[in-house]
Structure 1
Amino acid sequence: MTPLALIDNLEHLPNPFTQFDQVTHQLTNYENKLEQTDYRRDLQLALCFIYSYNGSVATFNSYRREVERLILWSWQTQQCPTTSLRREQIEEFIHFCMSPPQEWIGTKNVSRFKNHMGARIQNPTWRPFVAHVSKLDFKEGETPLAKHHTLSQAAIRATFSILSSYYGFLMQEDAVQQNPVALIRQKSKFVKKEVTRKQVRRISNLQWDYVIDTAEELAEEDPVTHERTLFIMNALLGMYLRISELVADERSAPVMGDFIKDADGHWWFKVLSKGNKERLVAVSDDMLSALIRYRKFRNLPALPTVAESTPLIPKNRGQGAMTSSRQVRNIVQFCFDKSYEKMCSEGLATDADDLRVATVHWLRHTGISEDVKTRPKEHVREDAGHASMATTDKYIDTEYRERHASGRKKLIRPH
């Protein structure tokens, strides 16, 4: 049977600790299950666990996705609540996620619930899994097919991690006696061990020169539209920001007053990063010049004042801060596409290739990779907001350069 969603988006989800009946009222197709105490308790526990991550929509969505898939699979294929699952059933579930039936797979992202006559109802076109095609294939006209759905290694690791946390929560609630995910000893048959460090995905210095030149040209031609574009590109690379740190959401709304001058006259940018942790990013002279240019265009004083509440990135229309991360992606993609076309027209098609597949996050990687060549890695780590030095170390390519230099003269036909 094709499953329907169980858990609505955070902004529409009643507090399951106090308003659980309002949640179940929407789930008309699961009425028979929810009349049984075990299933009703199962859903309430799951909702309470997921709802505890309501401080971040992205984290909430990740935990909801994994736990909801498990509930749907457990209820429909095992005919039992998740509190009754054993280790071997969890292994079976992982196999299921790696190759789900086509009726569980969608080919585009759709809403889980929709509004109907003043009520929230389950969307029949929603699916627990979604097939995707690469950015390059999509540009060339390919469309996703359910039969081509695959689960990445990162997704499998996330499934293990989140479900282990879920069963840890159930143990604390005395709903289960042990954690069946933790009992899986041979996780290696699902998750491959990486034998070497992955290369960081970034654009080259030549590509960045073309990208920022393109942004500057766009700003000269159409400042009303593209002065903001230029500032966004500078901020993403120059301060290695994530999209979530640039747009407004339920946690924070970046404002000009987040640029702070200390007692020594040095400028910093205050960021609310992952895990609701604040960090200060050192603002370079070039980044400060980019900020001054952007503020002058917006008819603001050259530099921010203390506690200035002007939105950092304004909406296209109306008042307030930009809230759409998709809009930022579109802006960056437009610059990448224009830069790719320009490089190709100048005979640099081979050098331009990465711009066809690059994403916004590559700019963060590029900024960190460049800075770690000349700055103490401890300073870069603090600016980037990395939890450990091991994460920053991934951006140090000296070992790779030396290794490749020693290997370039390897002979296929030795003397």
Structure 2
Amino acid sequence: MTSKARFPGFPVFDTAELIHEQADLELYPDLRAALASLPVDHDAALEDFQIAHRFLVKYSDVSGTYNRFRSEIQRFLNYTWLVAKRHLSQADTDLVSSYFSFIKTPPAGWVSRGIYPAFIASADLRRFNPHWRPMALRSKDTNTPYSVSQASLNASRTALQTFFKYLVSRDYLQRNPLLDVRKRDRNAKPNLNQDRDAEVRRLTDWQWSYLLETLTELASADAKFERHLFVIVTMKSLFLRVSELAPRPVDRGQMRTPTFGDFRRTIVDGEPYWVYSVFGKGDKTRQVTLPDAYLDYLKRWRLHLGLTSPLPVPGESTPILPSKKGDAIGKRQVQRIYEQAMVGTADRMEREGFSDEAKQMLAIRSETHYLRHTGASQAIEAGGDIRHISEELGHANATFTESVYVNSEQVRRRTEGRRRLV
């Protein structure tokens, strides 16, 4: 049920499956009429729609990211056209600041109680859904007021940041208006019951370096640790779960075993790249780009196995982690390899006087997801595109990835705090 208060705006963009059909508005008579009646120049509003449409089409093959970006952009366009009474090319810092203030405490008419599709089918046309609103309250309690979380505001900022960069690259805007918006304007209203940092379960850079150095030394001294080195580096560098390195059941009781044939060399714009095909969570397949630095570890592992070529060849059926019997080791064995690597590193830490650090490593010796989280966090911190990393992690959308892995404000705050004098 929607609020009884009147909403002056309208939905702008349809689903990812239908966005390509929306360019000429032929099937969208309500949207054509609404754009023509806006209190801004009609041609300018139509140009706003067209460039925003082109931007969203770029993301239509990644449903989660598309939905997040669509939601944010059509909400921002409604505010720009109807509240600020401007068009998109006039967006500046003041407009964006006032927008963030607006969405923290929106008028009742802008909020629905429940999620509704933007458009509905009617006689081969796409009509406005009268129940749709730019914001939604999911609680069944009719007395619950609408509130926006900091995670939601962060997601809004990410979507607009990407959109504004696109507009600048197309000379639609001279400058990204979000760059000068004060942090205070982008923050949610304080909630005194939620004053805790979001916890990212990952290794510190020092812990990772120490772990890698320990396993490299162990493998160089004793070949039985070559497998430990390869498994740890692979899980961290390719963002893998334990289950993604072990055989898994698929249709009709068949097992799918990760093989070297899952590594593939491809050419993009004349440059060679290696990718790894992962059969992951939810029986979904994704591709992960191999870092150039990872190839040396792949070659080292194949040399240890006695394989003839330094790098995989098409159709190669050798299991990535073969057992002594010739088939592949299972999930529990991969887990045990991780545990042994963490214990071995903790032992070295203890010997070298890092007792507290050793206890920390032992405390997470069964937490294999630390490697995946560490790899993704370091990639993002190094400047990687969060949308691309989200896809390689197998996440439904970049918003979820940001909520789990990105917390630059927390890092800055803690770093500055450590520098204070006593």
How high is the TM-score relative to the length of structure 2? 0.49
Kindly indicate whether the alpha-carbon contact (under 8 Å) linking 1:131 and 1:144 is maintained by their aligned counterparts in 2.
Answer: no
Aligned equivalents of 1:91 and 1:31: distance in 2?
27
Q: Which deviates the most, 274-283 or 101-110?
A: 274-283
Q: Quick check: 1:178 aligned with 2:168?
A: no
Structure 1: 5+ residue runs without aligned partners?
134-142, 202-235, 247-252, 289-368, 396-415
* Partner Cα distance (1:88, 1:146) in 2: 33
Query: Match for residue 315 of structure 2?
Result: none
Corresponding residue of 1:163: 160
Give the counterpart letter for 1:22 in structure 2: E
SS of the residue 2:258 aligns to: strand
Match status 1:190 vs 2:190: no
Which position in structure 2 is the counterpart of 1:30?
Answer: 35
C-alpha separation between the residues in 2 aligned to 1:156 and 1:105?
A: 16
Q: 1:260 aligns with which of 258, 261, 271?
A: 258
Aligned residues: 253
Distance 1:187 1:112, change over 3 A: same
CA distance in structure 1 between the partners assigned to 2:113 and 2:144 by the alignment: 10
From 352, 368, 371, the counterpart of 1:381: 371
1:102 and 1:146 in contact (8 A); partners too:
no
Structure possessing the higher relative contact order (Cα contacts under 8 Å, 6 or more residues apart): 2
Q: Which residue of 1 aligns with 2:278?
A: 270
Query: Aligned-pair distance for 1:20?
Result: 3.0
Q: Percent identity among equivalent residues? A: 18
CA 172–286 in structure 1, closer or farther in 2 if over 3 Å, else same: closer
Per-residue deviation, residues 275-329 of structure 1 (Å, max 9, x unmatched): 96438998973569xxxxxxxxxxxxxxxxxxxxxxxxxxxxxxxxxxxxxxxxx
Taking structure 1 as the reference length, the TM-score comes to 0.50
Determine the structure 1 residue equivalent to 2:243: 239
C-alpha contact (below 8 Å) 2:157/2:186 kept by paired residues: no
Distance 1:146 1:269 in 2: 48
Counterpart code for 2:35:
Y
Measure the CA separation in 2 of the matches of 1:146 and 1:385.
43
Residues 198 and 171 of structure 1, relative CA distance in 2, 3 Å threshold: closer
Specify the SS of the correspondent of 1:260.
Answer: coil
Compute the RMSD of aligned alpha carbons: 4.7
> Distance in 2 between the 1:23 and 1:146 partners?
39
Mapped partners of 1:284, 1:370: distance in 2: 25
- Shift of the 180–262 alpha-carbon distance from structure 1 to 2, 3 Å rule, reads closer
Kindly indicate whether residue 173 of structure 2 is the aligned counterpart of residue 148 of structure 1: no
Contact conserved, 2:11 with 2:132, CA < 8 A, in 1? yes
Classify the secondary structure of the residue corresponding to 1:388: helix
Give a deviation string over 1:48-83, Cα, whole Å, max 9, x none. 112111220000001111111000111111222122
Q: What is the Cα deviation at residue 6 of structure 1?
A: 0.9
CA contact (8 A) 2:27 2:124 kept: no
Distance 1:15 1:172, change over 3 A: farther
Separation (CA, whole Å) in 1 of partners of 2:127 and 2:67: 19
Instruction: Tell me how far apart the structure 1 counterparts of residues 154 and 287 of structure 2 sit (CA, whole Å).
Output: 24
Equivalent AA in structure 2 for residue 179 of structure 1? N
Q: Secondary structure at the match of 1:130?
A: strand
Corresponding residue of 1:12: 18
Contact 1:105–1:146 (CA under 8 A) maintained in structure 2: no
Instruction: Give 2:401's aligned residue.
Output: none
Aligned-pair CA distance for 1:11 = 1.0
Residues in 2 aligned to 1:371 and 1:258: alpha-carbon distance in whole angstroms: 32
Asked if 1:55 corresponds to 2:61, the answer is: yes
- The alpha-carbon deviation at position 191 of structure 1 amounts to 2.6
- For residues 13-412 of structure 1, the aligned pairs below 5 Å read 13-14=19-20, 19-22=23-26, 25-27=29-31, 28-33=33-38, 36-133=42-139, 143-145=140-142, 148-184=145-181, 186-191=182-187, 197-199=197-199, 239=243, 259-261=257-259, 270-271=278-279, 277-278=287-288, 285-286=330-331, 373-374=364-365, 381-382=371-372, 386-388=376-378
